[in-house]
Amino acid sequence: MSVFQITLTTIDAQQVQFDCASDEDIISAAERQHIILPQQCRTGACGFCTASTVSGEFELKNYNVAALSDEQRANQQTLLCKTYPRSALEVHAAYPYGSIQFGEIPHATFTIVSKTMVTDNVLHLVLTQSDDMDNLLSANIVAGQYMQLMSPDGATVRAYSLACPSNWEGRLEFYIQLWPDGEFSQFLRQASEGDAVIARGPQGQFALSELGLKPRWFIGGGTGIAPLLAMLRQLAEFGDPLPARLLVGARHAPLLFAHEQYDELKQQLADFEYQLCLSQPPEDWSGHHGSVVQALNEALQNGLTEMPEFYLCGSERLVNGLLTVLDEAGVDRSLVFFERFAG
Ligand code: FES
């Protein structure tokens, strides 16, 4: 194993330097040295950590072409969360120095309060903090962020979006897709209520716009609804009066979940509607017949009284489909906020 120096220059011409071993990615190496670079999925799926390489050799591993096109790659761009150095490396990031955080990511031990399968492969997981109670991680959540969850021995770790906003109960809530061969999925399947889990965070940049004086549309599928639910719950806690719409997509009805949360939000928010969209609905389906992408397209074609902000979350295929529809309708990208993950 070799160790190389990474020099990262921000868009406002500031620099940070740190070491990176040949077997670690640049985001993880920076984090080990208490430099928290802007990131979202850390799986090479969202494109959030895209940077330009100016000099040096590197290997880019297991990324999704939706996050970095062949053209970007040919232009020496890379995804820092999947970049492994093979020499000293100089990179230019597309964010300002102020977006970088310094220090250790807070972590604490949590106890599993409940774990409930809400579809064949989606787990609803609730945790409460059980140590370092003077420093409640849940109090610092910005709705839309994620936590890294780790087994107590530190052997397996995965990042998951939170379905809850900040709270003083020390409570964390997730909707987690369990994969047949996923290491952390395996850990969660075997874990019992009362068992310990380490959580690190909160982290991530997916959040409500601070300008927020427009209606808001939240559109997602699968476990991508988790951060959208967190944002909607945050708006409910703030007593936000602006119109909010939620479009949730799935292929079949049994893949939908969290209906009770949507109904609760209808009671709590002043102006909230949700629409469930099935691309393969049963005959008696009363929701939208067609994918969530089609539902968005139809809404835009029919015309909206006021162009809202759009918050999108789900698989890269889903989010890319939604982005295409928004782009084709000429929606300004400054109104669009999204997070996508591989799958
Ligand atoms: S954080 Fe690197 S691609 Fe998402």
Contacts of 96 (CB under 8 A, 6+ apart): 10, 11, 12, 14
Q: Is 45 in the pocket of ligand 1 (CB under 6 A)?
A: yes
Each residue of 242-266: pLDDT tens digit?
A: 999 999 999 999 999 999 999 999 9
Cα 88 versus chain centre, distance:
30
Q: Whose CA is nearest to atom 3 of ligand 1?
A: 44
- d(Cα 252, Cα 291) in Å, to the nearest integer? 10
* pLDDT for res 64: 81
* pLDDT for res 140: 93
Contacts of 278 (CB under 8 A, 6+ apart): 249, 250, 251, 252, 253, 256, 285, 287, 288, 289, 290
How far does residue 68's CA lie from ligand 1's centre (Å)?
10
Ligand 1 pocket test target in 26, 37, 43 with most atoms within 8 Å of CB = 43
Ligand 1: nearest atom to the Cα of 46: 4
In 3-state terms, what secondary structure has residue 157?
strand
* pLDDT for res 342: 66
Q: Is 38 in the pocket of ligand 1 (CB under 6 A)?
A: no
292-302 vs 316-328: helix axis angle to the nearest 10?
Answer: 10
Ligand 1: nearest atom to the Cα of 80: 2
Q: Is 340 in the pocket of ligand 1 (CB under 6 A)?
A: no
How far does residue 181's CA lie from ligand 1's centre (Å)?
22
How far does residue 66's CA lie from ligand 1's centre (Å)?
11
Q: Is 84 in the pocket of ligand 1 (CB under 6 A)?
A: no
Each residue of 34-71: pLDDT tens digit?
A: 999 988 777 787 788 999 999 999 999 988 887 888 99
* pLDDT for res 231: 98
Task: Read off the pTM.
Answer: 0.85
Instruction: Pick the closest to residue 106 from 81, 141, 156, 152 (CA basis).
Output: 141
How far does residue 270's CA lie from ligand 1's centre (Å)?
35
CA angle centred on 103, ends 99 and 106, rounded to 5°: 105
Distances (CA, A) of 331 to 86, 215, 230, 307, 326: 41, 14, 24, 8, 5
How far does residue 250's CA lie from ligand 1's centre (Å)?
24
* pLDDT for res 102: 93
Q: Which domains does the chain have, with CATH numbers?
A: 3-101 (3.10.20.30), 105-203 (2.40.30.10), 216-341 (3.40.50.80)
* pLDDT for res 38: 87
- d(Cα 256, Cα 224) in Å, to the nearest integer? 12
The list of the chain residues with pLDDT below 50 reads none
Q: Is 81 in the pocket of ligand 1 (CB under 6 A)?
A: yes
Ligand 1 pocket test target in 28, 79, 313 with most atoms within 8 Å of CB = 79
